[in-house]
Chain A
Amino acid sequence: MTRSVRLTMFFAGAILLTIFFVASLGNVPAVGDYPGPYGNVLSAVVVYERHVTNIVTAVNFDYRAVDTMVEESILFLSVAGSAVLLRQMRSEEKKENDDRKLKDSEEKTSIPSSSDATRGFALLIVGPMVLFGLYIVTHGQLTPGGGFQGGVIIATAFLLLYLAGDFTRFREIVSHTFVAIIEGIALFTYVFIGFLGMFEEKAFLQNVLPFGRTGDVVSGGTIWVLSCATGIAVATGVLEVIYAFLEQVLEEWSR
């Protein structure tokens, strides 16, 4: 198929699509037009039933907590998969690198060192960023945020250590088995909290802890505990994935 035939077919399809698209734009409902009942019911009910003010987090960790559990297991599987795949290739590369190093030791690439501004700024902001991530995780039921958002913020805060040029410390922190163990414990905590409800003859992942006072940090029953568990699991999980990727690039330079 020549290029002109392809272009003709594309333009024919594009014109047809444009006609239908513009014709249907008139019938699209307006922005913010919400027809269904669930949102209205939730916004009327959640603050009094669960004593939390962030309805999105309440839906994520209480009303539809099973969805979040499956999402966490998806994250866990992707972390495990990438760690297994990339670590296998690393052992092969190591043998090839050692053979090559015996032959020619004068050709060695070095990591380009980052500028002083980058290093200074990164070192200054690692602490506040970890604190901010912890704030987002623990205040998930009060302000926008929650477990996942805060967890990824904490993971990228650790990444700033690598950007600051201190990658030996970054390797020490991240490649420790402690990180993997903590991820497993956090996910186990999530499922265990789910079983707490079944011990009292209610549903799985039912909110059975005391609700507390609206506006307190520890409020909402299991919502706060699940948010913290998710935050820790996501932080360690994303950190492991990033480390698996970084190892691929770094392992030649840091030998």
Chain B
Amino acid sequence: MSSALEITVLLFVAVAATGVVLTRDPRAQVVTLSFYGVLLGLMFFIFQAPDVALSQIVVGAVALPLMFMLALARIFRNEEERKKKDAKAGHGGKE
């Protein structure tokens, strides 16, 4: 371990990773994952790998959380529709 900057950013990455894991709601975890992606890109840049940092920032902070959010939106929309259908079926059964 050679410089204070590298140690600092590694500590930040460790804390941010713990924070991502401890966020329980999936839709909130996507936002923390995006922030973690940017922090990882910064870490790659500090360790002198700018190509990897560019890839990481675009993929890990934009494309990956976007796909997660879209999948979550689809799943939650299905659940809402199913609940509405059940409520309507229950209501129609009572009448």
Contact = CB atoms under 8 A, between A and B. Distances in A.
A153 B73 contact: no
Nearest to A82: B67
A60 B62 CA distance: 24
Interface stretch (A113-121, A164-172, A244-252): A244-252
Given A242-B67, A249-B77, A136 B62 contact: no
B1 interface: yes
Interface residues of B, number: 20
Contacts, number: 52
Contacts of B62: 152, 156, 159
Given A153-B58, A156-B62, A242-B63, A144 B50 contact: yes
Contacts of B71: 245
A246 B70 contact: yes
Interface in B65-91: 66-67, 70-71, 73-74, 77, 84
Given A57-B51, A153-B58, A30 B2 contact: yes
Contacts of A145: 51, 54
Taking residues whose C-beta sits less than 8 angstroms from the other chain, chain A's interface range is 20 to 34
Nearest to A247: B70
A234 B47 CA distance: 26
A249 B51 contact: no
B1 A249 contact: no
A149 B77 contact: no
Contacts of B63: 152, 155-156, 238, 242
20 contacts: A31-B1, A31-B6, A32-B2, A54-B51, A56-B51, A107-B84, A144-B54, A145-B54, A146-B51, A148-B55, A149-B54, A149-B58, A152-B55, A155-B63, A156-B58, A156-B62, A242-B67, A248-B70, A249-B74, A252-B77
Given A54-B51, A248-B70, 13 more contacts: A30-B1, A31-B1, A31-B6, A31-B47, A107-B84, A146-B51, A149-B58, A152-B59, A152-B63, A155-B63, A156-B63, A159-B62, A248-B74
Interface of A: 30-32, 54, 56-57, 107, 136, 144-146, 148-149, 152-153, 155-156, 159, 238, 241-242, 245-246, 248-249, 252
